[in-house]
């Protein structure tokens, strides 16, 4: 089952492109970096677009980065790592995500379960 | 050593300028000299425009290679994600780059630092980037050394002093979150460099810059760069971007043409199913991604192209590797590897003459037609879990590093990688502006090939037919470049940290030496005052090598990913 944690309040323009939109803009339109702040973010999709290259299988398995499912790290550690990254290993997302959004990503991580079947 | 702090109109720090050692005087490096590929030098990323990664030097050969030992070592410092660059050598001076575009000129005989240059970079931006902060090399020409940066600049340094001659901002990296990691190419008064692009919603530009002034001459967009190309991105999906030319190509002086490979479209994995022409994230062929381009060097105008993988749905770029230009039986060929492990053989107009495969494990297509280059039996995924692992793995059937063609043996020495991955494609929302970072479109995990283990292999093959003469296997795929020499030797720096020398005719191992950490960059040969040297960069870490510790364990568990050294060998 696909996990889909929704974030209802977005505050950064860089998240705009993750937003659910019905269709691509026409050629006459320009992409809108500064998008509305009340759209939805699918954290499962965030893993499929960005995080999953290193945290394999949606965070369920170790890859370049550690397995996130059943992580023994506490919330403060994970929150700090998402915000500040680790040089040469993980980008810093503190500019990209608000604290509330990072909390939502952590909820996704804490809820990770093995695939059924 | 005298230290000087210098400021120009650009934010720059030049450290440690000393006089060059005797016998090491920079002469003019120009297009004709790079074309002729002098005996003692290594003047461009691929060795010469012929792109052989071959040195004619024969002082080190099978009879004495057992006496090869370390001549000197240089530590660049701050080697985050190891060292990945291809050194250059001209007139006894070795030039090379490290992470954060640190650039060095060293006495080729002693390793003494002649000058060093550490650009002041946008560190906050770099901390946000995924494919960063490594640098894969420089270019030289017209008395300058050219290097790109992760924050979107191309910088020219005086070859003798390291002083900044110009510093040109080419892309808005703050907005796009990508920059330059690949080496530039110098030819005919122009410096060409391609941006990163495959995983981001940009249009993957390739730039031509005036070598004398730093002024941009032209820009070619690898995503929908022409009216015809826009039509190959249904629903205006060119806005999700990709492409880019993140590794250097080469120059064909006979036709005044730049040959350059491009990266995949975004998202990497599409949910279109079989009807990719009309369905999915980016309906159509997605020109000019995963293509080889022929661009006029003076104008950047597209002269011809071949899209190696139309609608690439597997992240198997054409941006990787060399463009081996050779003549056989009156026919002029270009041999170029695709990241998938298929090797394309073209004529000089990029018409397909043959296609052969270096990997054993490959199932993203059933085959590629050797006469036309058409993909046969392609696997286009729908959303959900792939029924069987995809081969090869996202790191490719070949590395982004280069193989070597030896004109004396007539053999092409190339590394192949045997690995696969589980894949679950996700239908994602279109990403049309830079966001958190990448645009992959799937969850995946590295996996062994069906019925076997992951491994790598060095093949000695006919470059045109692909006929294999010999093979050497490695327990883990080597990721570095290959060097062959006129001394009938083939050098392979492997992932565990050992440099191997093989007999070019038989593949028999003749010598090896540990460099203390894994390799994933360049290796060259040059000569100073009649003495031959082999220079190799060591230092592990990055998008492919970061998988080694969790996958293979062993020596990789303790291998640093923030360290590196340039190691230079000569006969004792």
pTM, two decimal places: 0.91
| Helix (H/G/I), strand (E/B), else coil: B74 | strand
B346 has pLDDT over 80: yes
**Residue B302 CA, distance from chain mean position:** 22
Output Rg (C-alpha) for chain A, integer angstroms: 15
Distances (CA, A) of B99 to B5, B136, B395, B562: 21, 8, 21, 9
Q: How many CB atoms lie within 10 A of CB B231?
A: 13
Q: Which domain holds residue A40?
A: 6-17+35-110
Q: How many CB atoms lie within 10 A of CB B212?
A: 15
Q: What's the rounded Cα separation, in Å, for the pair B164 and B158? A: 6
Instruction: Please say whether the dihedral angle defined by the alpha carbons of residues B114, B485, B541 and B396, taken in this order, is positive or negative.
Output: positive
Residues of chain B with Cβ-Cβ distance to A19 below 8 Å are 429
What domains does chain B contain, in order, with CATH numbers?
A: 12-571 (2.140.10.10)
Asked if residue A26 belongs to a domain, the reply is: no
Q: What's the rounded Cα separation, in Å, for the pair B504 and B509? A: 10
Q: Are strands B483-485 and B54-55 parallel, antiparallel or unpaired?
A: parallel
Q: What is the mean pLDDT of chain A?
A: 72
Number of domains in chain A: 1
For residue B488, the model assigns a pLDDT of 98
Q: What is the pLDDT of residues B393-440, one digit of tens each?
A: 999 999 999 999 999 999 999 999 999 999 999 998 888 877 666 889
Asked if residue A24 belongs to a domain, the reply is: no
Asked if residue A59 belongs to a domain, the reply is: yes
Q: What is the pLDDT of residues B64-79, one digit of tens each?
A: 999 999 999 999 999 9
For residue B27, the model assigns a pLDDT of 65
- Decide if A63 and B446 are in contact by the 8 Å CB cutoff: yes
Closest CA relative to residue A64, chosen from B395, B457, B270: B395
Longest dimension (CA), chain A: 49
Q: Which residues contact B301 (CB under 8 A, 6 or more apart)?
A: B218, B295
B82 has pLDDT over 70: yes
| B 163-202 → A contacts, CB under 8 A | 175, 201
Asked if residue A23 belongs to a domain, the reply is: no
Confidence of residue B463 (pLDDT cuts 50, 70, 90): very high
B78: left (phi over 0), alpha (psi -120 to 50) or beta: left
Q: How far is A53 from chain B (nearest CA, A)?
A: 7
- Decide if A53 and B440 are in contact by the 8 Å CB cutoff: yes
| Residues B140 and B89: beta-carbon distance below 8 Å | no
Q: Specify the DSSP class assigned to residue A63.
A: S
B315 catalytic? Reply is: yes
Q: How far is B556 from chain A (nearest CA, A)?
A: 12
| B 236-255 → A contacts, CB under 8 A | 236-237, 239-240
Closest CA relative to residue B454, chosen from B520, B395, B525: B395
Residues of chain B with Cβ-Cβ distance to A15 below 8 Å are 435-436
Asked if residue A28 belongs to a domain, the reply is: no
Residue A64 backbone dihedrals phi, psi, to 5 degrees: -65, -35
Residue A42 backbone dihedrals phi, psi, to 5 degrees: -100, 110
In this prediction, the answer to ipTM > 0.85 reads no
| Helix (H/G/I), strand (E/B), else coil: B374 | coil
| Catalytic residue (one of B315, B459, B547, B563) | B315
Q: Is residue B288 reached through a cis peptide bond, with omega within 30 degrees of 0 on the bond before it?
A: yes
Mean pLDDT score, A100-104: 89
Asked if residue A60 belongs to a domain, the reply is: yes
- The domain that holds A55 is classified in CATH as 1.10.760.10
| B 53-92 → A contacts, CB under 8 A | 80-81
Asked if residue A30 belongs to a domain, the reply is: no
Given CB atoms, is B564 within the 8 Å cutoff of chain A?
Answer: no
Q: What is the pLDDT of residues B180-203, one digit of tens each?
A: 999 999 999 999 999 998 888 899
Asked if residue A117 belongs to a domain, the reply is: no
Q: Angle A75-84/A99-110 helices, nearest 10 degrees?
A: 120
Among A11, A17, A47, the strongest candidate for a mutation testing the B interface, having the largest count of B CBs within 10 A, is A17
């Amino acid at each position: 089952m696909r996990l889909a944690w929704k974030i209802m309040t977005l505050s950064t323009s860089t998240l705009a492109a993750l937003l659910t939109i019905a269709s691509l803009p026409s050629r006459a339109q320009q992409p809108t970096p500064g998008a509305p702040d009340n759209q939805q973010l699918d954290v499962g999709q965030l893993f499929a677009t960005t995080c999953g290259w290193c945290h394999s299988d949606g965070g369920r398995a170790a890859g370049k980065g550690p397995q996130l499912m059943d992580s023994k790290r506490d919330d403060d550690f994970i929150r700090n790592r998402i915000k500040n990254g680790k040089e040469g290993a993980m980008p810093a997302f503190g500019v990209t995500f608000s604290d509330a959004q990072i909390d939502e990503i952590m909820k996704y991580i804490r809820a990770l379960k093995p695939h059924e079947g | 050593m005298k230290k000087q702090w210098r400021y120009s109109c650009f934010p720059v720090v030049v450290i440690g300028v000393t006089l060059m050692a005797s016998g090491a005087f920079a002469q003019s490096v120009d297009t004709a000299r790079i074309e002729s590929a002098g005996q003692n030098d290594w003047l461009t990323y691929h060795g010469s425009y012929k792109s052989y990664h071959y040195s004619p030097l024969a002082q080190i050969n099978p009879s004495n290679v057992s006496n090869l030992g370390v001549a000197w070592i240089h530590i660049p410092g701050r080697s985050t994600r190891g060292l990945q660059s291809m050194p250059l050598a001209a007139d006894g001076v070795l030039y090379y780059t490290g992470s954060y575009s640190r650039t060095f000129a060293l006495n080729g005989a002693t390793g003494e630092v002649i000058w060093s240059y550490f650009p002041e970079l946008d560190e906050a931006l770099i901390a946000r980037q995924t494919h960063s902060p490594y640098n894969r090399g420089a270019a030289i020409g017209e008395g300058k050394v050219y290097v790109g940066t992760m924050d979107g600049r191309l910088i020219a340094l005086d070859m003798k002093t390291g002083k900044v001659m110009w510093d040109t901002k080419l892309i808005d990296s703050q907005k796009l979150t990508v920059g330059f990691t690949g080496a530039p190419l110098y030819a005919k008064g122009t410096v060409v460099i391609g941006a990163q692009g495959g995983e981001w919603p940009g249009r993957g530009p390739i730039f031509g810059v005036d070598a004398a002034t730093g002024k941009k001459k032209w820009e070619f967009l690898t995503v929908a760069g022409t009216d015809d190309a826009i039509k190959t991105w249904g629903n205006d999906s060119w806005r999700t971007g990709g492409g880019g030319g993140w590794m250097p190509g080469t120059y064909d002086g006979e036709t005044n043409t730049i040959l350059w490979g491009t990266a995949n479209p975004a998202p990497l994995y599409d949910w279109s199913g079989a009807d990719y022409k009309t369905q999915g994230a980016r309906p159509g062929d997605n020109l000019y991604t995963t293509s080889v381009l022929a661009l006029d060097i003076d104008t950047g105008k597209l002269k011809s192209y071949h899209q190696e993988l139309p609608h690439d749905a597997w992240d198997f770029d054409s941006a990787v590797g060399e463009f081996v230009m050779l003549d056989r039986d009156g026919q002029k060929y270009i041999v170029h590897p695709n990241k998938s492990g298929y090797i394309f053989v073209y004529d000089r107009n990029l018409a397909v003459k043959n296609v052969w495969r270096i990997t054993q494990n490959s199932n993203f297509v059933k085959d590629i037609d050797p006469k036309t280059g058409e993909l046969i039996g392609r696997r286009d995924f729908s959303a959900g879990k792939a029924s069987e692992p995809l081969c090869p793995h996202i790191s490719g059937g070949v590395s982004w590093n280069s193989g070597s063609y030896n004109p004396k043996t007539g053999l092409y020495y190339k590394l192949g990688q045997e690995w696969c991955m589980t894949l679950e494609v996700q239908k994602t929302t279109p990403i049309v502006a830079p966001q958190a970072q990448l645009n992959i479109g799937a969850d995946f995990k590295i996996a062994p090939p069906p019925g076997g283990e992951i491994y790598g292999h060095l093949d000695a093959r006919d470059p045109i037919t692909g006929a294999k003469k010999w093979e050497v296997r490695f327990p883990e795929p080597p990721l570095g470049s290959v060097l062959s020499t006129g001394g009938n030797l083939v050098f392979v720096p492997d992932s565990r940290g050992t440099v191997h020398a093989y007999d070019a005719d038989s593949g028999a191992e003749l010598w090896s030496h540990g460099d203390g950490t894994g390799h994933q960059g360049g290796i060259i040969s040059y000569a100073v005052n009649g003495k031959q040297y082999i220079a190799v960069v060591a230092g592990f870490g990055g998008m492919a090598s970061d998988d080694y510790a969790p996958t293979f364990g062993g020596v990789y568990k303790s291998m640093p990913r923030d360290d590196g050294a340039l190691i230079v060998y000569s006969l004792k």
